[in-house]
Structure 1
Amino acid sequence: MRKFTGLRTKDLINVGIYSALYFICMGIAEGLTTLITGLLFPGFTSIFVPAMVGLLAGPVYMLLCQKVPRFGAITIMGVLMGLFFLISGHFAFAFIPYAVCGFLADVIQTVVGQGDPQKKGLRIGSYLVFTFGSLGPVLPLWFMKNAYVASLVKRGKSQDYINVLFSHITLPTFIACILVTLVGALVGAYFGDKLVSKHFTSGAGRG
């Protein structure tokens, strides 16, 4: 069983590095999803972005768990991702899911799992929870439509843009969004864990 201490300067630097990498994965995921859905499923971009984030960011998350096996690292990364949503002009509510999911994922990984590399199921579970934080920008489409529309109007979006954005926002597409996000995160966690275990295990988390 590992002994956990507070985050050190080196840990915070690593959190910053992996948060930047995770941010890059989010950008790539949004670009790829926009391209794919634009060709195959026009209007469904928002529904599939969280799943693509979960698919691509698994290795980054697993590396963070390995390199900084201390409580607080995952929480900080979640808060940073939430702040990115706020700074980039997303609906204010978008900050909350990543902050909450980051904290819960941290508890699963470093409190319940104690950062033990043998507890693969808990590590994957923590990643699933963390990935659902990426739903922050899209949840208001279903649950806070009026407020979301008002924010779009304030940002200068046209009524045609708003109509297209909400044309596929239904209960079935919400369920689909949850399911594809779960699948994307599971696949991303599996391959991320395999990749990290194969190439980055020696001497991990020491010091």
Structure 2
Amino acid sequence: MQAQTSLAAQSSRWTMRDIITLAIFNVVMLILMTIAPIITVVSHLLVGGFTALLNGPIYMVMSNKIAKPGTLFFTAVLTGLYFVGFGYANYLLTLAVIGLICELILWGKGSYLHPVRNAISYSVFYVGYSLCGVVPLIFFRESYLATLEKSYTPEQLSAMLYYFETPSMILLMCSISFVGGLLGCYFGNLLMKKHVKKAKLV
């Protein structure tokens, strides 16, 4: 009952504090997103799920702290802009669309404080993250391959294309990302119940 009261009293208007919170937490998540491929030895099947697992607790704290529409969309856009800096401009479009889909999943007041819906939308976001290597091959193949050739050897590129162009591998990769997202949010909820809320950080 107390949670329902806090939901009703909560404003959907963003404040400077919300923007700063979004920026700080996203910097941390982007750092982990950069480290994850190194830990997983650039396994294209595992990297999305592993990253989602690592970032899940951080995301859950951030989204519960802000708890306003647009939190996941802005996270998607910031992630896309990060990849634009590395020359992968097409990722921004893919992630922005996925961010909008996630916001539709979270449509309604107080949805960010609903652990199941929040976990599902976060997991969908990481499915989109995994598809960032697939979508450009469909719509921007030549320019995308030209960008990849600058960063990968022919052998590495051939292995990458196997995962990003084989339907069964794409499905498996997205499934792993989705499950990783759910597990990350599960651990994030445990963290909040045991430590974060007790410390009154959310």
Give me the TM-score of the superposition, normalised by structure 1: 0.80
- 2:53 corresponds to which residue? 55
Counterparts of 2:104 and 2:156 in 1: how far apart (Å)?
Answer: 40
- 1:14 corresponds to which residue? 21
Letter in 1 for 2:15: R
1:67 deviates by: 0.9
The runs of 5 or more residues in structure 1 that have no matched partner are 38-44
- 1:137 corresponds to which residue? 132
Counterparts of 2:13 and 2:178 in 1: how far apart (Å)?
Answer: 31
Q: How does 1:106-185 map to 2 (within 5 A)?
A: 106-109=103-106, 111-112=107-108, 114-115=110-111, 117=113, 119-140=114-135, 143-144=138-139, 145-153=141-149, 155=150, 157-168=152-163, 169-185=165-181
Counterparts of 1:132 and 1:200 in 2: how far apart (Å)?
Answer: 27
CA contact (8 A) 1:78 1:101 kept: yes
1:81 deviates by: 0.4
Counterparts of 1:18 and 1:112 in 2: how far apart (Å)?
Answer: 23
Counterparts of 1:142 and 1:101 in 2: how far apart (Å)?
Answer: 17
1:146 deviates by: 4.1
Counterparts of 1:160 and 1:122 in 2: how far apart (Å)?
Answer: 41
Counterparts of 1:98 and 1:136 in 2: how far apart (Å)?
Answer: 9
- 2:63 corresponds to which residue? 65
Aligned pair 1:93/2:90, yes or no? yes
Aligned pair 1:105/2:102, yes or no? yes
CA contact (8 A) 2:77 2:92 kept: yes
1:141 deviates by: 6.9
CA contact (8 A) 1:101 1:129 kept: yes
1:85 deviates by: 1.0
Counterparts of 1:127 and 1:156 in 2: how far apart (Å)?
Answer: 29
Give me the TM-score of the superposition, normalised by structure 2: 0.81
CA RMSD for the aligned pairs? 2.5
Q: How does 1:68-79 map to 2 (within 5 A)?
A: 68-79=66-77
1:134 deviates by: 1.6
CA contact (8 A) 1:58 1:191 kept: yes
**SS where residue 45 of structure 2 aligns?**
helix
| Deviation digits for residues 162-183 of structure 1 (CA, Å, limit 9, x no counterpart) | 3333244412111111111111
Structure 1 residues 104, 198: closer, same or farther in 2, change over 3 A?
farther
Counterparts of 1:59 and 1:101 in 2: how far apart (Å)?
Answer: 20
Counterparts of 1:49 and 1:164 in 2: how far apart (Å)?
Answer: 15
CA contact (8 A) 2:76 2:99 kept: yes
Letter in 2 for 1:26: M
Among all aligned residue pairs of Structure 1 and Structure 2, give the percentage whose two residues are the same amino acid.
24
